[in-house]
């Protein structure tokens, strides 16, 4: 008898491609939010598969905090030219200069909240009606309640208590003028699935994800890479350690882990043995128990 | 890059399959505790997650670590100590990856149970050993049956509070069997006595209930044979998108993209496009950059045909020998999701596969009292959570199957044309 078994990775891939095609079909001006992180890299890879041999029928949008690791930008530009994709950059730096957002003060200031306004402005400017994000439900407990097609009101806000039910594989992207959707094709993936899929597909990642030697400081139990944006404070000492990053965000808040995993295989082993979630090192989530929910309600991705 | 399965050289995770299940029970039956226990004992909960809920439990004055805080992620949920929305959770054992749809038991949130059940292959219905089979148990089983979940596990929880009594367990089993004989879609019902709080028979076998010889809940979930949910006989490809590269290399490429909803498609196959009825032969089958030998459910693919015919989003590609039903009169069971009662004169839009069309409510036949399974032919007003049978008339023809034959081509949702809310889920008869 013919075996029509489909592995879990293939099922997840198939589901994500289905969502990407629904997005292209149901919306007039979708956009893919590209952060340079591994989830958005996988999502971009899936988008190139979904519409092959045609090009991805929507642009990529990068909300640039200005606090990037140079490796991220290099990787982004190379990928965009390879795919022949259209890249739009929304700059937090420029939003600050324009006075649309005001930089946080204090020693733990972060540009995380500023990204929200910059993103909402960019969505409005580009008249985008759907923004594809690489967020997964396993990342954080407020995200566990997120829909594939997540409605945002005219202020870009999320109303978690009043979400549209999603049944079978039917997605309702109807909306009124001024509203938009956030769409999460990787909702059902776990961190492990993402790594396994990258290995299966031979997807290359920015070098930051692999173990390397780097100058770091330890701040609030988080290992931060020393860069032009992160300088040692009084009492902090700069050390060189063998580290890698598990997520990729603003350089001022993305914590590293000590690791010897310098290949995809070793990273998968490390993820399997890990006893801390990947966002465990994100200072932005540690601000309060509902930090993520609050940011999402305000329009974060 | 090849998109063929790599089963020959694979080890471990590349061979894992996927089980989607849903959990249902009434308030305080301990669903979230059970899920927390499954994840904690199978080591799917990370240290920082555990630390964070330990801290919150302490602050709330809970005696034990409150595992429900793992899934009740919204502030309102933690404040009120209830689960508001479907929470999706993930864990894997070396045998399987699991996706759990954790659905709240509050009566006003039945729509969440329907939502969680729509993508599940198995349902765990929790029964409080002290309360036995109650209205809610019947309601949840009825919904599992209606949504065509073939495997049901009755997890008799809180066995520690009835002194691990075999009699209490047996009575629940008998009571449930009497009720379940009328649920024709459920193929298999398993009964497992557990204590989610203490961990008995969840991941590890209980030493408190030597009279129970069956598997633990996790072992059952890992090994239960859930036959392919997909229908591999009736070939259906609802067209989502037409791929036209307009490049020199692929100048004439016209790929009809969609997720196979049933059957098998191979190069050389004769196909018919509905609703137009035009015939063609399949030239190529593609899966994200590579040519495939065949396409079957639930793969997302694109296919090319040997001649140019007009095909667009919403059309269905099928085989000549077993076509779908085509029509504008739809006889269906619906579950009403809106706080606003169904107004049969209201303006609605139906979403079915990749098709969207205006729709009228032609007739409300009856509602079902889902506690007694009686038909209510006098009360025809659909309020939130009501389930019943209606006839619809769509503005353009749909290509559909019965929900019994195909969960993809037999399901739809109704959308309020003014508020854009999803107001009902439907299963075609």
Q: Predicted ipTM?
A: 0.90
Which portions of chain B are predicted below pLDDT 70? 1-14, 27, 46-48, 62-84, 105-109, 227-230
Same domain assignment for residues B54 and B190: yes
Which pLDDT score, from 0 to 100, does residue B406 have? Answer: 93
> Which of B223, B251, B274 finishes a domain?
B223
Same domain assignment for residues B291 and B405: no
Determine the residue of chain A that is closest to B6 in CA distance. Answer: A200
Q: Which of B151, B36, B121 is nearest to B83 (CA)?
A: B36
> Which of B190, B223, B256 finishes a domain?
B223
Which pLDDT score, from 0 to 100, does residue B3 have? Answer: 38
Same domain assignment for residues B162 and B23: yes
CB pair distance less than 8 Å for A145 and B5: no
pLDDT one-digit tens code per residue, A1-22: 467 788 899 999 999 999 999 9
Residue B17: inside a domain, yes or no? yes
Residue B231: inside a domain, yes or no? no
Same domain assignment for residues B292 and B167: no
pLDDT at A156 over 90: no
Task: Give the count of Cβ contacts less than 8 A between chain A and B.
Answer: 198
Same domain assignment for residues B308 and B376: no
Q: Answer positive or negative: Cα dihedral of B213, B216, B221, B223.
A: negative
Residue B228: inside a domain, yes or no? no
Which pLDDT score, from 0 to 100, does residue A145 have? Answer: 79
pLDDT at A102 over 80: no
Which pLDDT score, from 0 to 100, does residue B6 have? Answer: 35
Same domain assignment for residues B163 and B273: no
If you ran DSSP here, which 8-state letter would residue A164 be given? P
**Crossing angle between the packed helical segments A191-201 and A38-50, to the nearest 10 degrees:** 50
Residue B110: inside a domain, yes or no? yes
A301, A131 contact by CB (below 8 A): yes
CB pair distance less than 8 Å for B425 and A25: no
> Which of B318, B341, B372 finishes a domain?
B318
Same domain assignment for residues B20 and B104: yes
Give the pair of three-digit tokens for residue B359: 């729709």
How far B335 CA lies from chain A's nearest CA (Å)? 12
A83, A54 contact by CB (below 8 A): no
Instruction: Look over chain A and give the mean of its residue pLDDT values, rounded to a whole number.
Output: 85
Residue B229: inside a domain, yes or no? no
Same domain assignment for residues B313 and B336: no
Give the one of A167, A200, A274 whose C-beta lies nearest to B118's C-beta. Answer: A167
How far CA A6 is from CA of B39, B122, B229, in Å, comes to 24, 18, 11
CB pair distance less than 8 Å for B299 and A9: no
Determine the residue of chain B that is closest to A55 in CA distance. Answer: B245
The whole domain housing B381 covers: 325-428
Same domain assignment for residues B120 and B250: no
Residue A27's SS3 state is coil
Residue B413: inside a domain, yes or no? yes
Residue B265 belongs to a domain with what CATH number?
2.40.30.10
Q: How far is it, in rounded angstroms, from Cα A80 to Cα A75?
A: 9
Rg (CA), chain B: 24
A233-237, A273-277, B143-147, B234-238: least confident range:
A273-277
Residue B116 belongs to a domain with what CATH number?
3.40.50.300
Same domain assignment for residues B67 and B195: yes
CB pair distance less than 8 Å for B48 and A22: no
CB pair distance less than 8 Å for A53 and B337: no
Same domain assignment for residues B390 and B336: yes
Which pLDDT score, from 0 to 100, does residue B78 have? Answer: 62
- Say how many Å lie between the first and final Cα of chain A, rounded: 46
Domain count, chain B: 3
CB pair distance less than 8 Å for B46 and A277: yes
Same domain assignment for residues B360 and B299: no
Residue B230: inside a domain, yes or no? no
Residue B196: inside a domain, yes or no? yes
Query: CA B276: distance to chain centroid?
Result: 31
How far A12 CA lies from chain B's nearest CA (Å)? 10
């Amino acid at each position: 008898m013919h075996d029509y078994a489909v592995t879990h990775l293939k099922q997840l891939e198939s589901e994500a491609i289905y969502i990407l095609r629904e997005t292209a079909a149901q919306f007039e001006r979708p956009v893919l939010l590209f952060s340079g992180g591994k989830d958005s890299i996988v999502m971009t890879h899936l988008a190139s598969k979904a519409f092959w041999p045609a090009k991805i029928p929507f642009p990529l949008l990068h909300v640039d905090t200005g606090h990037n690791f140079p490796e991220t930008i290099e990787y982004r530009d190379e990928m965009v030219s390879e795919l022949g994709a259209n890249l739009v950059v929304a700059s937090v730096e420029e939003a600050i200069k324009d006075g649309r957002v005001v930089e946080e003060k204090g020693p733990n200031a972060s540009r995380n909240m500023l990204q929200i306004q910059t993103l909402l402005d960019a969505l409005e400017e580009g008249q985008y009606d759907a923004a594809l994000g690489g967020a997964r439900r396993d990342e954080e407990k407020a995200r566990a309640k997120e829909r594939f097609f997540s409605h945002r009101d005219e202020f870009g806000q999320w109303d978690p208590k009043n979400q549209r039910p999603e049944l079978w594989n039917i997605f309702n992207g109807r909306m009124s003028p001024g509203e938009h959707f956030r769409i999460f094709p990787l909702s059902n993936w776990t961190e492990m699935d993402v790594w396994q899929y990258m290995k299966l597909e031979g997807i290359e990642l920015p070098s930051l994800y692999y173990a390397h030697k780097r100058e770091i400081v330890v701040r609030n139990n988080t290992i931060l890479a020393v860069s032009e944006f992160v300088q040692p404070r009084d009492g902090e000492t700069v050390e060189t350690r063998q580290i890698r990053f598990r997520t990729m965000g603003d350089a001022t808040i993305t914590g590293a882990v000590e690791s010897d995993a310098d290949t995809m295989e070793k990273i998968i082993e490390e993820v399997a043995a890990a006893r801390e979630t990947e966002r465990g090192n994100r200072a932005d989530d540690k601000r309060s128990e509902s930090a993520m929910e609050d940011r999402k309600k305000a329009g974060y991705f | 890059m090849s998109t063929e399965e790599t089963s020959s050289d694979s080890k471990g995770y590349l061979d894992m399959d996927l089980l989607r299940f849903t959990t249902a029970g009434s308030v305080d039956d301990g669903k979230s505790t059970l899920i927390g226990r499954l994840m904690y004992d199978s080591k799917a909960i990370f240290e920082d997650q555990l630390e964070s809920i330990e801290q919150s439990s302490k602050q709330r004055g809970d005696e034990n670590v409150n595992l429900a805080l793992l899934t009740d992620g919204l502030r309102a949920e933690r404040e009120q100590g209830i689960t508001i929305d479907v929470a999706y959770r993930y864990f894997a054992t070396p045998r399987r990856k699991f996706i759990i749809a954790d659905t709240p038991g509050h009566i006003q949130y039945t729509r969440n149970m329907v939502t969680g059940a729509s993508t599940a292959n198995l349902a765990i219905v929790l029964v409080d050993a002290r309360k036995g089979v109650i209205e809610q148990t019947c309601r949840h089983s009825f919904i599992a049956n209606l949504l065509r979940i073939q495997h049901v596990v009755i997890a008799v929880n809180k066995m520690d509070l009835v002194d691990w009594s075999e009699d209490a367990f047996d009575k629940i089993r008998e009571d449930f069997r009497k009720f379940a004989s009328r649920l024709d879609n459920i193929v298999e019902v398993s009964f497992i006595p557990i204590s989610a709080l203490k961990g008995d028979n969840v991941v590890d076998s209980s030493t408190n209930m030597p009279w129970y010889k069956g598997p633990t809940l996790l072992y059952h979930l890992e090994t239960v044979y859930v036959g392919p949910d997909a229908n591999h006989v009736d070939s259906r490809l609802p067209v989502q998108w037409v791929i036209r590269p307009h490049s020199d290399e692929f100048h004439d490429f016209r790929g009809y993209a969609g997720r196979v909803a049933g059957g098998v498609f191979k190069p050389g196959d004769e196909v018919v496009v509905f609703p137009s009825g035009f015939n063609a032969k399949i030239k190529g089958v593609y899966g994200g950059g590579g040519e495939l030998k065949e396409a079957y459910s639930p793969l997302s693919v694109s296919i090319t045909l040997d001649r140019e015919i007009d095909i667009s989003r919403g059309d269905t590609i099928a085989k000549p020998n077993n076509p779908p039903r085509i029509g504008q009169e739809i006889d269906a069971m619906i579950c009403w999701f809106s706080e606003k009662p169904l107004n049969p004169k209201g303006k609605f839009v139906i979403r079915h596969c990749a098709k969207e069309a205006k729709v009228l409510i032609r007739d409300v036949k009856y509602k079902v009292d889902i506690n007694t399974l009686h038909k209510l032919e006098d009360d025809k007003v659909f309020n939130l959570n009501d389930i019943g049978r209606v006839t619809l008339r769509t503005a353009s023809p749909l290509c559909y199957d019965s929900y019994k034959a195909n969960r993809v081509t037999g399901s739809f949702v109704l959308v309020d044309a003014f508020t854009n809310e999803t107001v009902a889920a439907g299963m075609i008869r």
